[in-house]
Amino acid sequence: MAVPKKRTGHSAQGHRRSNWKATKPETTTCPNCGETKLAHTVCTACGYYKGKAVSIKSPDYVETVAEKKKPAKKSAPKAKKAEKVEEVAEEIKEEKTLEAEEAKAEVVDEEKVIEEKEAE
């Protein structure tokens, strides 16, 4: 790890940091209410941005949201895949139960055949 041989003096440190200073943020006046606000941001007083009501503070907010209501999303592909997986799982369960019932029926038939042979 690099270690300096000597400490940096106050003067050298100050010269290095001479351009290291904060700047004032750009402010503009809101065209709707006339308040000063940060540039490219929503007005904190009235809730408007670029002539549109975008905040709850503006009285027109509810009306504009109702007009621009997005249509409901169609079912996502993942949901469709999940439904298909569930259907396939149900089919597999049904097939397994049918196979198990057939196997039980075969065992019962074989036992009957064995009992008949023993009876003869």
Q: Per residue in 22-32, pLDDT tens?
A: 999 999 999 99
Residue 29 maps to a domain: yes
Residue 34 confidence (pLDDT): 92
The answer on 84 and 42 residing in a single domain is no
Residue 4 maps to a domain: no
Burial of residue 45, with CB atoms counted within 10 A of its CB: 0-12 exposed, 13-18 middle, 19 or more buried: middle
Taking every pair of Cα atoms in the chain, the longest distance, rounded to a whole number of angstroms, is 119
9 token code pair: 């003096």
The answer on 119 and 78 residing in a single domain is yes
Say how many domains are in the chain.
Answer: 2
- pTM: predicted TM-score of the whole model, two decimal places: 0.39
The answer on 77 and 62 residing in a single domain is no
Residue 64 confidence (pLDDT): 42
Residue 98 maps to a domain: yes
Q: Per residue in 80-114, pLDDT tens?
A: 777 888 888 888 888 888 888 888 888 888 888 88
For residue 7, CA distances in Å to 3, 18, 54, 100 come to: 10, 19, 54, 85
The answer on 83 and 62 residing in a single domain is no
The answer on 101 and 60 residing in a single domain is no
Confidence check: pLDDT of 65 > 80 = no
Residue 70 confidence (pLDDT): 66
The answer on 45 and 59 residing in a single domain is yes
| Helix, strand, or coil (residue 115) | helix
Torsion-angle region of 34 (φ positive above 0: left; ψ -120 to 50: alpha; else: beta): left
Residue 52 is part of which domain span?
25-67
For the chain, what is the mean pLDDT? Answer: 84
Residue 5 maps to a domain: no
Residue 104 confidence (pLDDT): 84
**Is the separation of the CB atoms in 38 and 25 below 8 Å?**
yes
Residue 16 maps to a domain: no
